[in-house]
A and B are shown apart, each in its own frame.
Chain A
């Protein structure tokens, strides 16, 4: 595995950021694609916590969403034999035990506070609001030329003590905190 990582780094130096293969067609499609990205990113993410290896991977969503337009992972989809549960939370107090915290655009005002709250708690932060990545969210989806893409804040990832597969960095667009 180490060798694989080494080779990956070599490739990373040589290659440019990839274009997403699935272009956005309408709003509904966009949510599906985001859900897919979410699932795949979780797949190549390692959390450093020592939780129950048979327990589910919990994705919590904080903030308001458009009705019928929620992120969704089908129940049969599993990661390393672990179910993926997508849940909405109303307060940060409910975030404990979550692996991913998706922060919607409604929470832009108190983003820093949220990030401050989860800092060091081994939770991958995600969002789909412009500027979020620069403000410290690890993964932030955006649309470009009709396709869904994502940005990665490497610094934020490193701070959260989460390990992303190196090739994820080749797929996403790297941004830095301002």
Chain B
């Protein structure tokens, strides 16, 4: 039906309706007619039979067949009448069927169940012969229904013919009607197709009639009028639009060019500014170094107090100027986004101690109290940029001390965890003072560069850059700084640094405070280190090798047991949590082995709770070290189980120790790592060194130093770290002469490393030291 034309659909619908109506009528009427015919026949036969039965009593009783036959004469007038019979009450035929040659009727009447019954083509009507209530026999009348059948046949033929004729007429009328309906639609469709193909909206359809299709044509034509009008309008608009777009594009291009020129100019200016600042700083620092150095020398030569006082003023002014230059450099680095933080494991307590030491003296001079309140549980190992944290705290605490003349300055430090993650921590510093305070309206300004609290009249000095730098550093370190203050009563600076990763390793706060371990040696001892974390493995290995211990490695319990079969170490350091076979199982197996059970096993575990210790003890471990590993504790623990000795002290003088670089101790580095270091130094770094030549762009030298330091840190090579650090420090302190010399020495350093690599077992002699006679100048 979906793909048919409207015309066909119409015809089908009309014919279906007609067919349905006619067939329904014929069927209903036919059934009704047949029923009427039959009823009529039945009534007729029943009436006649009634009469015959009423008149059969006498002939039957008198045995008068002639009379009996006479009474049935009326039956012959009925066309459908076939035969009749009279039986006496005993069922014996008195007047049998006459035309019943096959004895069919006689047989049939014995099976009749009703007085009137249709059997085959015959209607049988039975009546009892009763007179005055006395029953004397039966009358059977048989009528043929052939007449009825032929009537039905005729009716069907008539109906069929009628149906055919009506159907044909309906088909012809339907086709004509549908055609008159679809013709205008097809015409409209053709016209629409022509219009869309040729995009010619001037074409109109001619109306065929005034009926609904006429109205449709009118609407279609009106629509075409509107489209044509709109097209004209759009064309007009388009013409205007093109012009506008051209003008706008021109304007835009002009603006863009201007912006581009401005941007380039700004970039140039910015670069010029950076270069200028760097150069200027350098140019000022170089003579400043001379001024400061020589004035210090002069101090020792001049005895006149007046002259000495002038000289001190000169020195103080020089230091101020230097501080100002350093601040400017920092700020320009921060603002140009060139400042990158160097995250490495550090111990914040170290900085707190430094602050304590330095500001203790200053506060004592000013006769104010200096209180430090540090939470005990602040981790001793954090991944932070130590230098910048120091800079922040020195700045703020320094300010507090500077602006406080009576009362106290208090530094409190606390920590908090952000959510459930205990691997990260936030540090909250609070610097409280009872100083001059800051007026409300100036609180925002104090963090602006070159802004200082007004109406101080230069009494306190300073560059006005300290807090600006501090604020920016705090922000770079994912933190924020806030201040509350009361004029005349004091200020509170709060600094919150978020998302600080806790280092897996304890960083010793005062490495120089434990001289015994410095000289401790376990030369020749063998330790099996079982640890599945490579980073931890390398670090502990370095700590052990630093003390002359030969380290065997295993990545899990299973591997450890395999290694133990071949060689028995003096001690086993066992990480307890490992993939595959863990430390508990491995320890149990070792302690169950007759040959291995005497080897001491020291557990390394992050589980410091009481339960954890018990578990470790139950597994059979002899000792216990909790992570992060404290190297002093590690050595102390080892001293219990393996032989050690104290190395003799160096013979150099105190001054020499201070200025001389450390010896090149690279013997703990495996030869393959040495090869990698030498490769990096002789290719990448050497290339960089050459390309810089005699350039005095300080930033580049800092980058160079940082890279060298990073290589040292990667391979845990103290000598290389020191060399990188030396470069960086000299840049920062603008010790240009020293810097030049240090950098000039780079090829020598590379040669030294090559030598170490070639004789990796030998201690490197004096040729590895680099000249440093000007350091600290």
B131 at the interface (CB under 8 A from A): yes
Name, among B58, B63, B73, B131, the residue most crowded by chain A CB atoms within 10 Å (CB to CB). B58
Residue of B at shortest CB range from A80? B132
Instruction: Please tell me if the beta carbons of A15 and B67 are within 8 angstroms of each other in the complex.
Output: yes
- Tell me, in angstroms, the Cα distance from A167 to B57 when the chains sit together: 9
Instruction: Please tell me if the beta carbons of A7 and B131 are within 8 angstroms of each other in the complex.
Output: no
- Tell me, in angstroms, the Cα distance from A171 to B57 when the chains sit together: 13
Residue of B at shortest CB range from A39? B61
Give which listed residue, B70, B71, B134, contacts A43 with CB less than 8 A.
Answer: B134
- Tell me, in angstroms, the Cα distance from A15 to B64 when the chains sit together: 13
Instruction: Please tell me if the beta carbons of A168 and B58 are within 8 angstroms of each other in the complex.
Output: yes
Q: Contacts A4-B55, A8-B55; is A18 near B61 (CB within 8 Å)? A: no
Complex interface: chain B residues within 8 A of A4 (CB):
51, 54-55
Complex interface: chain B residues within 8 A of A8 (CB):
55
Complex interface: chain A residues within 8 A of B62 (CB):
18, 20-21, 40, 171
B59 at the interface (CB under 8 A from A): yes
A95 at the interface (CB under 8 A from B): no
Instruction: Please tell me if the beta carbons of A3 and B61 are within 8 angstroms of each other in the complex.
Output: no
Give which listed residue, A3, A21, A80, contacts B64 with CB less than 8 A.
Answer: A21
Instruction: Please tell me if the beta carbons of B51 and A18 are within 8 angstroms of each other in the complex.
Output: no
Instruction: Identify which of residues 1-55 in chain A touch chain B, using a CB-to-CB cut-off of 8 Å.
Output: 1, 3-4, 7-8, 11, 14-15, 18-22, 40, 43-44
Complex interface: chain B residues within 8 A of A15 (CB):
66-67, 70
Contact code string B39-67 (vs A, CB < 8 Å = 1, else 0)? 00000000000010011011101111111
Instruction: Please tell me if the beta carbons of A171 and B54 are within 8 angstroms of each other in the complex.
Output: no
B74 at the interface (CB under 8 A from A): yes
B458 at the interface (CB under 8 A from A): no
Interchain nearest-CB distance for B76 vs A (Å): 12
B133 at the interface (CB under 8 A from A): yes
Instruction: Identify which of residues 56-100 in chain B touch chain A, using a CB-to-CB cut-off of 8 Å.
Output: 57-59, 61-67, 70-71, 73-74
Give which listed residue, A1, A3, A7, A22, contacts B63 with CB less than 8 A.
Answer: A22
- Tell me, in angstroms, the Cα distance from A7 to B134 when the chains sit together: 20
Interchain nearest-CB distance for A168 vs B (Å): 7
Complex interface: chain B residues within 8 A of A167 (CB):
55, 58-59, 67
Interchain nearest-CB distance for A23 vs B (Å): 12
Q: How many residues of B contact A (CB 8 A)?
A: 21
Instruction: Please tell me if the beta carbons of B134 and A18 are within 8 angstroms of each other in the complex.
Output: no
Contact code string A160-178 (vs B, CB < 8 Å = 1, else 0)? 0000010110110000000
Residue of A at shortest CB range from B67? A18
Interchain nearest-CB distance for B2 vs A (Å): 70
Instruction: Please tell me if the beta carbons of B70 and A11 are within 8 angstroms of each other in the complex.
Output: yes
- Tell me, in angstroms, the Cα distance from A77 to B736 when the chains sit together: 170
Complex interface: chain A residues within 8 A of B64 (CB):
18, 20-21, 171
Instruction: Please tell me if the beta carbons of B73 and A18 are within 8 angstroms of each other in the complex.
Output: no
Instruction: Please tell me if the beta carbons of A14 and B70 are within 8 angstroms of each other in the complex.
Output: yes
Instruction: Please tell me if the beta carbons of B61 and A40 are within 8 angstroms of each other in the complex.
Output: yes
Instruction: Please tell me if the beta carbons of B134 and A21 are within 8 angstroms of each other in the complex.
Output: no
Instruction: Please tell me if the beta carbons of B58 and A21 are within 8 angstroms of each other in the complex.
Output: no
Residue of B at shortest CB range from A43? B61
Q: Contacts A3-B54, A4-B51, A171-B58; is A21 near B67 (CB within 8 Å)? A: no
Interchain nearest-CB distance for A153 vs B (Å): 19
Complex interface: chain A residues within 8 A of B61 (CB):
40, 43-44
Name, among B57, B65, B67, B71, the residue most crowded by chain A CB atoms within 10 Å (CB to CB). B67
- Tell me, in angstroms, the Cα distance from A41 to B734 when the chains sit together: 171
Name, among A1, A20, A22, A44, the residue most crowded by chain B CB atoms within 10 Å (CB to CB). A44
Complex interface: chain B residues within 8 A of A21 (CB):
62-65
Interchain nearest-CB distance for A85 vs B (Å): 19
- Tell me, in angstroms, the Cα distance from A165 to B59 when the chains sit together: 11
Give which listed residue, B63, B67, B131, contacts A170 with CB less than 8 A.
Answer: B67
Q: Contacts A11-B70, A22-B63, A167-B58; is A80 near B51 (CB within 8 Å)? A: no
Complex interface: chain A residues within 8 A of B58 (CB):
44, 165, 167-168, 170-171
Complex interface: chain A residues within 8 A of B55 (CB):
4, 7-8, 11, 167
Complex interface: chain B residues within 8 A of A171 (CB):
58, 62, 64, 67
Interchain nearest-CB distance for A40 vs B (Å): 5
Complex interface: chain B residues within 8 A of A79 (CB):
134
Give which listed residue, A3, A11, A20, A22, contacts B71 with CB less than 8 A.
Answer: A11
Residue of B at shortest CB range from A37? B62
Residue of A at shortest CB range from B56? A167
Instruction: Identify which of residues 139-168 in chain A touch chain B, using a CB-to-CB cut-off of 8 Å.
Output: 165, 167-168
Residue of A at shortest CB range from B68? A18
- Tell me, in angstroms, the Cα distance from A84 to B735 when the chains sit together: 174
Name, among B61, B62, B65, the residue most crowded by chain A CB atoms within 10 Å (CB to CB). B62
- Tell me, in angstroms, the Cα distance from A65 to B65 when the chains sit together: 32
Complex interface: chain A residues within 8 A of B51 (CB):
3-4, 7
Complex interface: chain A residues within 8 A of B134 (CB):
43, 79-80
- Tell me, in angstroms, the Cα distance from A176 to B62 when the chains sit together: 23
Complex interface: chain B residues within 8 A of A11 (CB):
55, 70-71, 73
Known contacts A11-B55, A20-B62; 8 further A-B pairs (Cβ under 8 A): A3-B54, A4-B51, A7-B74, A15-B67, A15-B70, A18-B59, A21-B62, A168-B58
- Selected A-B contacts with CB under 8 Å, 14 pairs: A3-B54, A11-B73, A14-B70, A14-B73, A18-B67, A19-B66, A44-B131, A80-B133, A165-B131, A167-B59, A167-B67, A170-B70, A171-B62, A171-B64
Give A residues with C-beta under 8 Å from B. 1, 3-4, 7-8, 11, 14-15, 18-22, 40, 43-44, 79-80, 165, 167-168, 170-171
A-B residue pairs, 3 tightest by C-beta: A4-B54, A167-B58, A15-B70
